[in-house]
Structures are given as structure tokens and as C-alpha cells.
Amino acid sequence: MPEIAIISGGFADAFTWVNLLFVALGVAAGQMVGAIPGIGPIMAMAIAIPFTFVLDPLVAISFLVGINKGGLFGGAIPAILINTPGTPDAAATTLDGHPLAASGKPVKATRMALFASVTGDTVSDIVLITLAAPLAGLALKMGPVEILALMIFAFSIISGLIGDSLIKGLIAAVAGLLLATVGLDPEHGTPRFYFGYFELYDGASLVAVAIGMLAVAEIFRRIAAARRAGPRPTIPPGQGGAAQRVSWADYWSCRFAMARGAAIGTVLGAIPGIGSTAAAYMSYAVTK
């Protein structure tokens, strides 16, 4: 267990006005960047790094962490409003977030995403502070076989739960797996399916694939449904602010879903090679 003196010393260093100011600036900037599909918090952090050269290291880290955290939530904003995830991590948010927005509650959906994001993040931070060492031990025990088993488990659940046809879900999963083989073969280092485009040596970018699969599909769907009164994320006139508010009862009713998500995200996030996108889908599937 970590020493309380070290933790309280860390809090004393972190909770200064300057640090909090830069955290707030970072979160604001991260949300804006995260809300733009295709850019994401990693690129925002890369752009922000030169600005941190003139800052105290603790302030700089606070700023960068703020950008990252803000960006991860910012990705949920377009995922909910226009069915286009700002970051790959927010792809699972489109599944239920956008339908809630389309039903006339876009503000409520966005607020719920914010509260769930903050809750999950706080839980994982507490776990990181208190259980980082044992969790790292568990992560080190996970070899390629265990990771493959987890991925197959995730693929099976997603294929079965998303959509109305198991066969179509499996076809989509296999097509995604085929797309993942584009680029250099990790075993032999030889290129596959690059069709003369050297840009494909690194494989198909996850951001490009996510935008192509979700955003372009959404554009097609909306264009096709333009002559009908298709679902659009608008706030119905006359709807009071209460309908857009997330009450304590709403929040509390999601406690188990958030706890499951936090647990799955924390454990899978500690394992190298799986990533937060798969963790988000797995959490969604388990809750569903």
C-alpha cells in the first residue's frame, strides 16, 4: 500500500492555483480539440508540448494531462450530437448517446457522458494511486494468448449484440479484422495490401477508419432519410430545462453501469495492446 505521507505530499504539490488554472486551460483546449473528429487529444498534446518548455514541469504535466482528459470527453460530444466520434475511444458512445440525442435530449446525453467520464476517470485515478503495483503485476502476467482470448471474447460479444443479425455482425467483425491486416506483417516485416501506397505501410489509421465507418455512414443515412422526418438531435420547443438535466436519481440509476465500465476500463487499460476503444466496447457489451 502507498504511504499516506507521499499521497498528501502529492496533493499539496498538485493543488496550487497555477496548477489548477493550467488544468482548467488544458481541459478546455482538450475538449475543443477532442470534439473535432480526426484530430484528438494526442495530436493536441503534441502541438502543446512546445508551450510547456517555458513552464514548471509540474504545471506542464498538469496542462498536458488536462488536455488529454478533456480531449477524451470532447470526443463524446460529436459522437452524441452527430453520430461521429471525435476520438476512437468515443466510438461506443455513439451506440446509445446518439439515439438519446435524437430523441430530443442532446444536452442530457452530453451531460451524462461528462458525469460518467469524470466518475470513471476518478475511479481509475484512485486505483492507480492505491493499486498500481499489483495491477502492474497482473498486467505483466497477461501474455499474447490471454490478450488473444480477450480480443476474441470482445469480438464475439460485439458481433452478437450490435445490430439485428448475428451473421452481419460476424461479417463486420471479420471485415474489421481483415482491415487490420493492412500494413507491415509483424512476424516477417513484409507489406500486405498496400496497393502501391507507401502510406499504408503503417496500416489503416484507426481515426480514418472510425470516421469512414461511422461519419460517412451517418451522412449516407441522413441523406437517404432527408425526405422523411428523420431523427435529428434537436431540443423540442417547449421542453423545459428539467428534461435536459441529469438528476441525482438519473446518475444513481447508472451506478452499476459506471462501476462496471470503470472496472473494465481500469483493468484492460493496464494491459498493453488492448486499448481504451476495445475496453469501451467491451464495457458497453457487458452492460447491454
191: helix, strand or coil: strand
The answer to whether residue 222 forms part of the interface with other proteins (CB under 8 A) is yes
Q: Nine-digit cell at 272?
A: 498493453
3-state secondary structure of 245: coil
Judged by CB under 8 A, the stretch of 106-114, 121-129, 162-170, 265-273 that binds other proteins is 162-170
Q: Which is nearer to other proteins, 226 or 249 (CB)?
A: 226
Q: Figure out which of the listed residues 174, 208, 243, 259 binds other proteins, where binding follows CB under 8 A.
A: 174
Q: Which residue has the cell 507521499?
A: 6
Task: Determine how β-strand 191-192 pairs with β-strand 183-184.
Answer: antiparallel
Q: Which is nearer to other proteins, 36 or 61 (CB)?
A: 36
- Written as nine digits, the cell of 89 is 475511444
Surface-to-core class of residue 12, CB atoms within 10 Å of its CB (0-12 exposed, 13-18 middle, 19+ buried): exposed
Interface of this chain with other proteins, residues 47 to 86, rule: CB under 8 A: 47
Q: Smallest gap, in angstroms, from Cβ of residue 216 to other proteins?
A: 7
Q: CA 161, CA 146: separation in Å to the nearest integer?
A: 22
Cell 452530453, residue located: 110
Smallest separation (angstroms) from other proteins to the CB of 167: 5
User: Pick from 171, 208, 243, 259: which binds other proteins (CB under 8 A)?
Assistant: 171
Q: Which stretch binds other proteins (CB under 8 A): 117-125, 160-168, 231-239, 241-249?
A: 160-168
**Taking Cα atoms as reference points, which of 198, 193, 196, 197 lies closest to residue 182?**
193
Q: Which three cell numbers stand for residue 232?
A: 435529428
Could you tell me the sign of the dihedral formed by the alpha carbons of 158, 163, 165, 170, in that order? negative
219 binds other proteins (CB under 8 A): yes
Size of the site for other proteins (CB under 8 A): 35
Cβ nearer to other proteins, comparing 17 with 195: 195
Per-residue burial over 259-276, b if 16 or more Cβ lie within 10 Å, else e, is ebbbbbbbbbbbbeebeb
Residue labelled with grid coordinates 466518475: 119
Q: Residue 218 Cβ, how far from other proteins at the closest point, in Å?
A: 12
Residues 6 or more apart whose Cβ sits within 8 Å of residue 39: 33, 86
> At a CB cut-off of 8 Å and minimum separation 6, what does 38 contact?
207, 208, 211
Binder of other proteins out of 187, 197, 238, 248 (CB under 8 A): 187
**Closer to other proteins by Cβ: residue 31 or 266:** 31
Least Cβ distance, residue 131 to other proteins (angstroms): 35
Residue 190 binds other proteins, judged by CB under 8 A: yes
Binding flag, residue 225, other proteins (CB under 8 A): yes
Nearer to other proteins, 222 or 260 (CB): 222
Of the candidate spans 7-15, 192-200, 247-255, 270-278, the one that interacts with other proteins by CB under 8 A turns out to be 192-200
List the one residue from 23, 29, 39, 80 that touches other proteins (CB under 8 A): 39
Residue in 14, 126, 177, 243 binding other proteins, rule: CB under 8 A: 177
The dihedral over CA atoms of 206, 207, 213, 219, expressed in degrees to the nearest 10, equals 180
- By CB under 8 A, name the binding residues for other proteins: 36, 39, 43, 47, 163-168, 170-171, 174-175, 177-178, 181, 185, 187-188, 190-195, 216, 219-220, 222-227
